[in-house]
Amino acid sequence: MPAKLSSRQQAQLAVLEPLPKRFQQLHRMIEELASLRFDETLQRRLVRTLDELKAQTAGIGLGALTETLGVMSMLARRTGGHQMRVRGLQEGLVSLKINYEGALRSATTPEGAEAEEN
């Protein structure tokens, strides 16, 4: 009989499942930002998306994802070196995907099984 997930894990899964589509959207926005034809509305949309995701992940206790999204949001708001900002956002997206994999693994592993492994 498969072990059941806790209510916390179920809430985390509800937030984590739609994130890959949002990551694709973030990737498109970052690549568009990397081109020299970006405008301020794209930057605002990117910041708004990052802040929205940060709020969602903070509400259910996904600290690593929240921290990465916060850093990316801060970096997207910055003025100054365009190439530095784009490179930082690209690296942040890679870090975000890695943290997502870990959070998804944690949310899908029943809590009893975690205690048995340790």
- Tell me the average pLDDT across 88-111: 93
Domain range for 94 is 7-111
* Model confidence pLDDT, tens digit, residues 17-45: 999 999 999 999 999 988 877 788 999 99
In a domain, 1, yes or no: no
Which pTM does this prediction carry?
0.86
Q: How far is it, in rounded angstroms, from Cα 76 to Cα 44? A: 9
Q: How far is it, in rounded angstroms, from Cα 89 to Cα 74? A: 10
88 residue type, one letter: G
- Tell me the average pLDDT across 82-92: 92
Q: Both tokens of residue 94?
A: 């890679």
User: What's the CATH code of the domain at 88?
Assistant: 1.20.120
The answer on pLDDT for 118 being more than 70 is no
- Tell me the average pLDDT across 91-95: 96
In a domain, 43, yes or no: yes
Q: How far is it, in rounded angstroms, from Cα 32 to Cα 15? A: 26
